[in-house]
Amino acid sequence: MSILYSPGERLLTLHTRHTTYQMHADEHNFLRHLYYGARADGADFRYLQRNYDRGFSGNPPELHNDRAFSLDTMPQEYTGFNAGDFRVPALCAVHADGSYAADFRYAGHEIRPGSYDLPGLPAAFDRDPENSMTLIVTLRDTASALSVRLYYGVFEERDVITRAAEIVNDGERTIFLEKAASACVDLSFGDWELLHFHGRHCMERQPQRVPLSNAVHSVESRRGMSSHHHNPFTILCAPDTREYAGECYGFMPLWSGNHKTEVEKDYLGSVRVVTGIHDSQFRWNLGPGEHFYTPQVLFSYSASGFSALSHQYHDMIRYHICRSEYVQKRRPVLINNWEATFMNFTTERLLNIARQAAELGVELFVMDDGWFGARDDDNAGLGDWVVNERKLPGGLDPLIDGLKELGMRFGIWIEPEMINEDSDLYRARPEWVLKAPNRPPMYCRNQLVLDMSRQDVRDYLYDCFAGLLRKHDISYIKWDMNRCLADVYSNALPPERQGEMTYRYVLGVYDLIGRLTREFPHVLFEGCAGGGGRFDAGMLYYTPQIWCSDDTDAIERLDIQHGTSFGYPPFTMGAHVSVCPNQQTGRSTTFYTRGVVAMSGTFGYELDLNRLSSSEKDEVRLQIAYFKKVQSLIQNGVYYRLNELDEQERYCAWEFAAPDASEALVNLVVKHVQANAPLIHIRLRGLDPDATYTLEDTQERYSGAALMNGGYTFPMFWGDYPSVQLRFLRAD
């Protein structure tokens, strides 16, 4: 059993393969958090808590003479508000009488086999319900009809515990939620640092590690999406934690909108993490009998460093988050026309690129922005999802038929959530746009945002894209989103419900993409938001891959993909070889190095192959052939970062190892070649120490123990951004 209840002690204990999580309903029905860390069978962690009188820490009404008993110092599972705990709260509720208060007490629990669902929200699933369990703990406010049901999903073999909250109004008057976090965890002891992943457009998910001060640290987005700037995934780690040693905790919301993770180190040195939807511009009217569900969060703990934590998240996403058949299915090598043509193309120009691509081994052609409406630039056409026959005479079929003759499949770019004022849709339905009354809108890329909370908007978009997919043989959809949300106001909601819009917007996106992916399960969907602006586990529930960044520069991509890998597996990262000098940085990198970097994602091309030299075309043939040979290893293998964060300036090294240790692919890119430099030396991971391995290119033989303990020393490197791939195959 992975969930245990001790009725005499009122202990609830959750076990995964390597971790234990424990809580206690005390004699006053406060639900105390006791422990989360390395597995400890049979332990009762109540002994860790000691109460003392702490000045200015108030006491509950029934214990007002016991100055040592205070919610302000008690580790809790889910906190109320305005009831004596002055730290960051998990919930803020306003009652019909205007009072701000919630004093939650334990009121029971239930244990179920299998995982749990959340209405309208992505949630971890288990195809075999015997491999997971669910605990639901009910907390009730002492003076109102407000209750919270805390969901804990235990995925024992993955070392992951999922968390979510269902907030219920069992009364007769509306309660207003002004904050509704998904989860809270209190760590009473330890010295912790925060590792988070900040960035910007074209430089997403850059790791930044900072010591916790006695303050509240916040990682958040108010942009209407998870954002390029602050990814929702965060890690708490001990100061000595490295890739392969040390303690760390991960917190990953399955949410694609405004998010907030608050980490507070209080005056006693205790650390509280509260994570979920952002409370800015949020106010939910919870009517009588209504339920509000928070997004799910994936908790995971490792005592063996960042690499083990990453593997736990990678496996969780692979087996329990992504639903697409393409998680296991081989994905085609593609070419996208964007950096080759932008919006200036015709059917013949696209087919001309495709002919060369097919000759070199590319399998899928993706037509990007510019194929619909009056779409010649960013200023018109969004919302009018009708083929522009001036560019594509006869519609899509002549292009698709031409690609089929070449042995290629067809993919297409869409941006469902956006609209231009210069469009037939806007002229017909201006009320469908997010826009504050009596105010001019904020523009970005000269486009506005459709109100995805509206059923009529979603139905229109569904009819557009479902019709497109039913009529044409389309194998791939790139779903883009190219601006943040502002002027958030819905014409379909009354004034008192406008605080619900940012949440309802994301639920609308999930609803639309869920309908399309369910009806068209054989289509490969790729998420995108100006590159990696919505790279999160919520979107990965619907799309098995996301365009990692609009920055296709191979050297910048090293850092972007490295940071992304802490929480998200490489098979989710859209990555392409592009032209040099690079269109974002002007940097020139060898064709070989561009291929090495792109192979660590989904792999494809984003350039006009006709403009390459004959030697470069030969390289493309070799790259595609080699990628197909190692694609299963890259897509299904175990990913290892082979250098630490503080070694990234000089070089970046990573490895894919087969789960059965039959082979490994080592990749190295030198970012800074130095004169008379120290040799680069790495230790491989994931091999069988008792086996012998052959280096494919040289047939040199090494034992697995030697490669993992003694390591491998590279020769001197020369030139601009050199790279190498080494494939080791088990010889016996």
Q: Just list the catalytic residues.
A: 536, 616
Integer angstrom CA distances of residue 2 from 134, 152, 296, 629: 9, 11, 19, 40
CA distance 563 to 204: 8
Q: Cα dihedral sign for 182, 186, 190, 193?
A: positive
Residue type, 442: M
Q: Cα dihedral sign for 120, 126, 127, 132?
A: negative
Q: Environment class of residue 642 by beta-carbon count within 10 Å: exposed (0-12), middle (13-18) or buried (19+)?
A: buried
> Token pair 């917007």 is at which residue?
505
CA distance 572 to 327: 9
Residue type, 202: C
Q: Which of 660, 597, 594 is nearest to 632 (CA)?
A: 660
Q: Is 59 helix (H, G, I), strand (E, B) or coil?
A: coil
Q: Which of 234, 252, 249, 233 is nearest to 304 (CA)?
A: 249
Instruction: Name the pairing type of β-strands 91-94 and 104-113.
Output: unpaired
DSSP result, 302-346: ESB-HHHHHHHHHHHIIIII--SGGGTSPPPPEEE-HHHHTT---
CA distance 528 to 235: 24
* The pair of three-digit structure tokens given for residue 506, joined into one six-digit string: 């994301």
CB 388 within 8 A of CB 652: no
Q: How far apart are the first and last CA of the chain?
A: 39
DSSP assigned state of 169: E
CA distance 19 to 37: 5
CA distance 525 to 327: 11
CB 500 within 8 A of CB 285: yes
Q: Is 519 helix (H, G, I), strand (E, B) or coil?
A: helix
CB 263 within 8 A of CB 272: yes
Write the secondary structure of 214-260 as one string of H (helix), E (strand) and C (coil).
CCEEEEEECCCCCCCCECCCEEEECCCCCCCCECEEEEEECCCCCEE
* The pair of three-digit structure tokens given for residue 449, joined into one six-digit string: 């945002």
Q: Which residues pair with 428 in a beta bridge?
A: none
Extended beta strands in 469-522, E state? 476-479
Instruction: Name the pairing type of β-strands 524-527 and 545-547.
Output: parallel
* The pair of three-digit structure tokens given for residue 339, joined into one six-digit string: 């950096």
Integer angstrom CA distances of residue 318 from 323, 505, 537, 609: 9, 26, 11, 33
Q: Which residues have CB under 8 Å from 440's CB, separation 6+?
A: none
Q: Which helix (H) or strand (E) holds 14?
A: strand 11-15
DSSP result, 571-593: GGEE--EE-SS-TTT-----HHH
CA 531 to chain centre: 13
Integer angstrom CA distances of residue 537 from 153, 314, 541: 16, 11, 6
Q: Which of 195, 137, 128 is nearest to 158 (CA)?
A: 128
Q: Which residues pair with 13 in a beta bridge?
A: 4, 22
Q: Which of 577, 724, 547 is nearest to 651 (CA)?
A: 724
CB 563 within 8 A of CB 197: yes
